[in-house]
Amino acid sequence: MLETLRRIVQEVNDAPNLRAALEVIVQRVKVAVKADVCSVYLTDFDKGRHVLRASDGLRPEAVDRVHLALHKGLIGLVCDRAEPINLQDATSHPNYRFIPETGEQPYNGFLGVPIIQHRRVLGVLVAQQREQRRFAEDEATFLLTLASQLAGAITHANASGELAAMQAAKRRQKRFMTGRPSASGVGIGTAVVAFRPAELRLVPDRPVDDPGQEVARFHAALDKASAEIGGLKQQMAISLSEEDAALFDAWAMLLRSDSLLNRVEELIQQGCWAPGALRRTIDEHCKVFESMEDAYMRERGSDIRDLGRRILSHLQHSQSLPPENYPASTILVGEEVSATQLAEVPVGQLKGIVCATGSSASHVAILARALGIPAIMGVADLQVGRLEGHELIVDGYLGRVHLQPPPSVLEEYAKLISEMHSQSAVLEQMRGCHSQTRDGERVHVYLNTGLVSETSSLGLEESEGVGLYRTELPFMVRDRFPSEEVQRNNYRRVLKHFHPRPVTLRTLDIGGDKPLPYFPINESNPFLGWRGIRISLDHPEIFLTQVRAMLRASVGLDNLRILLPMISHISEVIDAKRLIQQALDEVLQEGRKVRRPKLGVMIEVPSAVFQAEALACLVDFISLGTNDLTQYLLAVDRNNPNVGDLFSDLHPAVLKAIHQVMRDAGPQVEDISVCGEMAGNPLSAILLVGMGYRHLSMSAGGLLKIKYALSHIDLPLAQHMAASALCCEEPETVKILMERLLMEHDMLHLVAPTGAVGGS
């Protein structure tokens, strides 16, 4: 039955439309489970009924005409329970309804399984038998598996308008798909599918007779890929700031990293041909990055895989593909859109990006934000192959992709685009202004970043320093720990970049979920394992080298702040302070004039929340990592599509934890900052200020928005909103409360278009 299942799933995926997919399902299932009838009922929520949409065994003329009211019959019971119902004698069940129009005889055996997508029952897949029969357990699971495949096709058909056409109803439909908004804005254009001409996973293992020649072939391909990246940088330099364009330098660094070069050459010397050695090396590197908890670092795996494909395309001696004929208004769509594919679209023609995978931490999302192009990542059930040439609207505020929108929707979004241009001009007026509330309460805004090359001019000019600088990347692109001098040069660059403003360098945050290629760690539960400060303390030689590099980098600048990650015990801070003092003594003994930097801890696990007061007595400042704190408090991985909807930093438990930290630790330290996404979201930033926070650290894109939002709010009002939010019981209630506030102050456009269309 497994092979049958595989064939049916493939046929459903290859079906040109929903109608064909339904026909495949009912015909194949009827044969597979030896039933007399197989049917699909789809739920029409607007009209409150279940409609027969396909059947093999019932009268053909009944399809699209026969319907049951919601909650009625065995179909309604399956929907209400959202679980399979398997009956040997269906006619004796109190919910049984005989429908003469179908031509069905009194069928006894009945198996109905729900078709579910994101908790919503979209319909029911039914198998029926004349004789009394209870379907076997493996037959029930067989139907359940097919129902899950069908759910994706139904969702796509609903979004594209196909389902509306099937229903032949002239009523307003929900014609959009949803994903994670990763770059705000609205774009209208024609879909162009980004595909991969060279696929690493298809490369076989083959032996090689002349390793030296194969190494030379690899380096020739590498040179061509490097030149290609350089050309893309030159093309993008017109529309990107110098700092943003330097992203391409980061990719060039990845291409030439010791760990990649040495590993490929090592495998070739062992007798593997270059494409196979490249595939194995890229896979090894990607597994390291993709297993990480930190979204920013995890997305670096996509960059490495994209670079690997570019090298492979040159290794294969493939002819260059003809230039893509990009429409004047292009929406780039793909299973996995890379930043280099984005760069290939002519400047000014790219209006939006839609991706089935990825997150806001991917380089394509980073570039999209820098270019002001709306982007939506993680769009579930995106039927990429069917979208080429279709007109799309990308709503980067609400995370919606509208497919083949009707004229009325197009007109509304055209108005929104015009409105946003006016709003951008208003935000630009905040450049150079202090961040403060309307009644003059100062709120300091800082920048979160991971590479100096990713620091845009906006982040450099508008932030009051760096609230969180990730130090992991230089460790990850090498085949050994970077030397103290290499680290010093990296840290010196960012400290000078922002001098005299403060720069907070977070010590190495690696571990079970972020292993280094040369420092492997295998754990059954890496999220709760050996990581962050735990590794630093267990390997003082690594920690001391990094701290010495930080201290030496700060000589003559004195704007360094050191931040310790993943603190869960008081003893960890005490031990870390001892090692930092040791490093300081060593640097001073070398005759370097360096001041003791301010020391802080990250509160990102629940235990630290309840020990915030004790921690505050040991350090100069505290930083709340609200992304991880929310994840640990709610036991939700926000990058897991099955539970991502449960992740909310407006959850009352999260708000109460944040409030408790300020209450307990605020009087003990110089400052407490928030460096998660909450800081850059106007909805939550106002609440943070109301709770007493005066230091917010965010990505560059949030700086002007937060300045604008705070300038329209008095401190007493922010305090009142915080008190009200702390009394709420559901995150949605808090969201509505804050959206109402923004609406009353004509600021809802900061989080979504004021005239958002498309329904809910």
pLDDT, tens digit (0-9, with 9 covering 90-100), for 648-671: 999 999 999 999 999 999 999 999
pLDDT at 53 over 70: yes
Lowest-confidence pick of 347-356, 439-448, 632-641, 665-674: 632-641
Full strand arrangement of the beta sheet holding 176-178: 176-178, 400-403, 391-395, 186-193, 330-334, 350-355, 375-377, 180-183
Nearest residue to 706 (alpha-carbon basis) of 680, 687, 688, 683? 680
Residue 339 pairs in a beta bridge with none
Q: What is the 3-state secondary structure (H, E, C) of 66-116?
A: CEEECCCHHHHHHHHHCCCEEECCHHHCCCCCCCHHHCCCCCCEEEEEEEE
Which carries the bigger pLDDT value, residue 313 or residue 270?
270
**Given pLDDT bands bounded at 50, 70 and 90, which one contains residue 167?**
low
Give mean pLDDT, residues 216-242.
77
**Given pLDDT bands bounded at 50, 70 and 90, which one contains residue 555?**
very high
Q: What is the pLDDT of residue 202?
A: 62
pLDDT at 544 over 60: yes
Tell me which residues are annotated as active site.
363, 675
Give mean pLDDT, residues 398-420.
82
The mean of the pLDDT values for the chain is 84
Give mean pLDDT, residues 660-686.
94
Other C-beta atoms lying within 10 Å of the C-beta of residue 542: 18
Asked if 597 contacts 636 with a C-beta cutoff of 8 angstroms, the reply is no
Which carries the bigger pLDDT value, residue 164 or residue 718?
718
pLDDT at 391 over 70: yes
Give mean pLDDT, residues 478-505.
90
Q: What is the pLDDT of residue 170?
A: 35
Q: What is the pLDDT of residue 640?
A: 66
CA distance 96 to 523: 52
Give mean pLDDT, residues 392-404.
88
pLDDT at 641 over 70: no
**Given pLDDT bands bounded at 50, 70 and 90, which one contains residue 476?**
low
CA distance 302 to 679: 27
Query: What CA dihedral angle connects 606, 610, 614 and 615, to 10 degrees?
Result: 20
Q: What is the pLDDT of residue 742?
A: 93
Q: 54: which residues sit within 8 A by CB, 6+ positions away?
A: 19, 22, 23, 25, 26, 39, 40, 63
pLDDT at 320 over 50: no
Q: What is the pLDDT of residue 267?
A: 92
Give mean pLDDT, residues 522-527.
65
Q: Model's pTM, two decimal places?
A: 0.59
Q: What is the pLDDT of residue 574?
A: 97
Q: What is the pLDDT of residue 335?
A: 82
Q: What is the DSSP letter of 380?
A: T
pLDDT at 759 over 50: no
Lowest-confidence pick of 28-42, 337-351, 472-486, 551-565: 472-486
Q: What is the pLDDT of residue 196?
A: 63
pLDDT at 755 over 70: no
Other C-beta atoms lying within 10 Å of the C-beta of residue 683: 22
pLDDT at 292 over 50: yes
Query: What CA dihedral angle connects 139, 144, 147 and 152, to 10 degrees?
Result: -140
Which carries the bigger pLDDT value, residue 201 or residue 448?
448
Q: What is the pLDDT of residue 174?
A: 45
Which carries the bigger pLDDT value, residue 249 or residue 710?
710
Q: What is the pLDDT of residue 660?
A: 98
pLDDT tens, residue by residue, 728-738: 999 999 999 99
CA distance 326 to 331: 9
Q: What is the pLDDT of residue 713?
A: 96
Q: What is the pLDDT of residue 551?
A: 98
Strands 621-624 and 598-603, sheet pairing: parallel
Q: What is the pLDDT of residue 616?
A: 97
**Given pLDDT bands bounded at 50, 70 and 90, which one contains residue 241?**
low
Cβ-count burial 704-734 (b if 16+ within 10 Å, e if not): bbbbbbbbbbebebbeebbebbbebeebeeb
CA distance 505 to 465: 11
Q: What is the pLDDT of residue 718?
A: 97
Q: What is the DSSP letter of 518?
A: T
Give mean pLDDT, residues 524-534.
75
pLDDT at 153 over 90: no
Give mean pLDDT, residues 176-200.
82
Phi-psi region of 318 (alpha: psi -120 to 50; beta: other; left: phi over 0): beta
Q: What is the pLDDT of residue 378?
A: 86
Q: What is the pLDDT of residue 247?
A: 63
Q: What is the DSSP letter of 452?
A: G
Instruction: Provide the residue count of the chain.
Output: 760
∠ CA 325-402-122, rounded to 5°: 130
pLDDT tens, residue by residue, 103-147: 666 788 999 999 988 778 899 999 999 899 999 998 998 898 888
Lowest-confidence pick of 176-185, 289-298, 589-598: 289-298
Residue 673 pairs in a beta bridge with 623, 695
**Given pLDDT bands bounded at 50, 70 and 90, which one contains residue 256?**
confident
Where are the alpha helices (H) located in 372-471, listed in sequence order?
407-428, 457-462
CA distance 393 to 384: 15
Q: What is the pLDDT of residue 668?
A: 93
pLDDT at 458 over 80: no
Our separate counts of H helices and E strands in the chain read 29, 22
Give mean pLDDT, residues 223-233.
81
Q: What is the pLDDT of residue 197?
A: 58
Give mean pLDDT, residues 715-734.
96
Q: 663: which residues sit within 8 A by CB, 6+ positions away?
A: none
CA distance 50 to 124: 9
**Given pLDDT bands bounded at 50, 70 and 90, which one contains residue 293?**
low
pLDDT at 746 over 50: yes
